[in-house]
Structure 1
Amino acid sequence: MSMDAVVIMAKAPEAHMVKTRLTPPLDPGTASYLYCCFLLDKLEQVRCLNDIYPMVAYTPYDRVNFFKGIRPPGFTLMPQTGGHLGERLANVSGYLFEHGYEKVVILDSDSPNLPTGYIYDSMRCLDKTDAVIGPCLDGGYYLIGLSTHMPELFQDIPWSTPRVTELTMEKAVNMGISVSLINEWYDVDTVEDLLRLKRDLEKPLDGSFLCRNTYRMVSTMDI
């Protein structure tokens, strides 16, 4: 098996620290529990992938015991290091390529029903291009994959803005890096996103991941 890593970027589900744009209408405790459901479903999705090394890059550093408690067998844990998101992504990439991995695909934990096929698509793209991006409808990305360490891709990007994917693509072109774009999907950050998720879980889209923990929670919400 080739040394291909799929890494989930994860936060400990602490009230007032995750899904803050959903409060209100959700209270902070409910929002943090919802994010925990997202995270559990993302772990299950990655656990079921074939021929990859599953990993979780977690924050904060002192919550390692929480992640030890929820990780499925076979998952490697690594702490996120660095300040802003770009530094943390670059550090994850650098560490894994230094340790011999040939492809690194990094996922967010905000898209619980992301079709599993999109992750496999990203791995195939890395056979042909240097990088791959899974763009979000809000202008960010839910996935970035690399075939070698390219820290410059994560520098001088205005994170949490609608231009993240656009400016990352521009940077890649300027650096002579070949990039594939796979299908768009959506993160669940706002009330509108949550309403869409609820609709989609009630009538799943073709190929979307059946995120059971999230479904059980969202189906009972009155939003």
Structure 2
Amino acid sequence: MPLERILIIFVKYPEPGCVKTRLAQSIGKDKAAFLYRMFVELLLKKTSDMSFERFIFYTPAEKREKLSSWLGGGSKLFPQIGDNLGQRMSNSFRFAFAKGARGIVIVGTDIPLLDKEVLLTAFKKLENRQCVIGPSLDGGYYLLGLSHFEGKIFQNINWGTDKVLNQTLGAVKRLGLTYSLLEERFDVDDIEDLVRLRLSLRRYKKAGSPELDFLSGRLDELSLNTH
């Protein structure tokens, strides 16, 4: 039976010194890796009971056994394939659409404040739009959704720069795709982002979200000097 909706999650194995490297310069590689691990687990927890299939595309390929042990044997794990982020995303979308999906959304694990409503909205918009994008404050995007495979969206993009969003929107318009933009979010890549996250968590504390309370508590446990 074809899978109607698929959420693709890009994950790195949380090896200290290999994840959150910019953040590690400020808080140390072990704490940075711990935070990354926590962000991944939080996203998986948020999406565990939602009405779509989850495909986890991971890197590096040789860490499959450790990833399976960490994330659980029931996780659908696939290696990321490609020489850059664009190729890896393109290949992941191609693979998932080959399963018969009518709507696919991809997210990373750098947006701890990403909530279920945003994901549901993205899938809903794909019912009458060909593309949906969640812009991030750094000039990139935290979410991309497609109603069909369109590999050219990932070509000629300066990955890792503040030009990613505008270049992607340019490609979308040149291809004549209908699209919708979601609300802006921020990645947690460096110490300034971490400060912003802690301030945001304090503002959201009254909402009574178990996930946000968990995240706030774990940040406090690390005794991070972000004040």
Which TM-score band (shorter chain)?
Answer: over 0.9
Give, in angstroms, the shift of residue 48 of structure 1.
Answer: 2.8
Aligned match of 1:34: 35
Q: Matched residue of 2:46: which SS?
A: helix
Report the TM-score, using the length of structure 2 for normalisation: 0.91
Name whichever of 23-32 and 207-216 sits farther off: 207-216
What is the number of equivalent residue pairs in this alignment? Answer: 222
Report the TM-score, using the length of structure 1 for normalisation: 0.93
Q: Measure the CA separation in 2 of the matches of 1:208 and 1:137.
A: 24
Aligned match of 1:71: 71
Give, in angstroms, the shift of residue 178 of structure 1.
Answer: 1.2
Deviations 1:158-217 (A, max 9, x none): 011111111101111011111110111111001111001111223317698824553333
Counterpart contact for 1:4–1:52, Cα < 8 Å: yes
Is structure 2 residue 83 aligned with structure 1 residue 80? Answer: no
Aligned match of 1:119: 119
1:122-201 equivalence runs, <5 A: 122-201=122-201
Aligned match of 2:6: 5
Give, in angstroms, the shift of residue 75 of structure 1.
Answer: 3.2
Q: Measure the CA separation in 1 of the matches of 2:17 and 2:147.
A: 36
Q: Measure the CA separation in 2 of the matches of 1:77 and 1:184.
A: 29
Counterpart contact for 1:21–1:189, Cα < 8 Å: yes
Give, in angstroms, the shift of residue 136 of structure 1.
Answer: 0.3
Q: Measure the CA separation in 2 of the matches of 1:201 and 1:84.
A: 33
Q: Matched residue of 1:162: which SS?
A: coil
Give, in angstroms, the shift of residue 108 of structure 1.
Answer: 0.8
1:23 is aligned with what amino acid?
A
Q: Measure the CA separation in 2 of the matches of 1:48 and 1:86.
A: 29
Give, in angstroms, the shift of residue 142 of structure 1.
Answer: 0.6
Counterpart contact for 2:3–2:99, Cα < 8 Å: no
Q: Matched residue of 2:91: which SS?
A: helix
Q: Give the fraction of aligned pairs with identical amino acids, expressed as a percent.
A: 32
Q: Measure the CA separation in 2 of the matches of 1:65 and 1:183.
A: 36
Across the aligned residues of Structure 1 and Structure 2, the Cα RMSD in angstroms comes to 2.0
Q: Matched residue of 1:8: which SS?
A: strand
Give, in angstroms, the shift of residue 55 of structure 1.
Answer: 1.8
Counterpart contact for 1:5–1:101, Cα < 8 Å: yes
Aligned match of 1:19: 20
Match among 213, 220, 225 for residue 222 of structure 1: 225
Extract unaligned runs of 5+ from structure 2: none
Give, in angstroms, the shift of residue 29 of structure 1.
Answer: 1.2
2:25 is aligned with what amino acid?
P
Q: Measure the CA separation in 2 of the matches of 1:213 and 1:155.
A: 39
Deviations 1:19-47 (A, max 9, x none): 11112221111111110111111111121
Q: Matched residue of 1:5: which SS?
A: strand
Q: Matched residue of 2:82: which SS?
A: coil
Deviations 1:25-77 (A, max 9, x none): 2111111111011111111112132x200121110111112221233575311
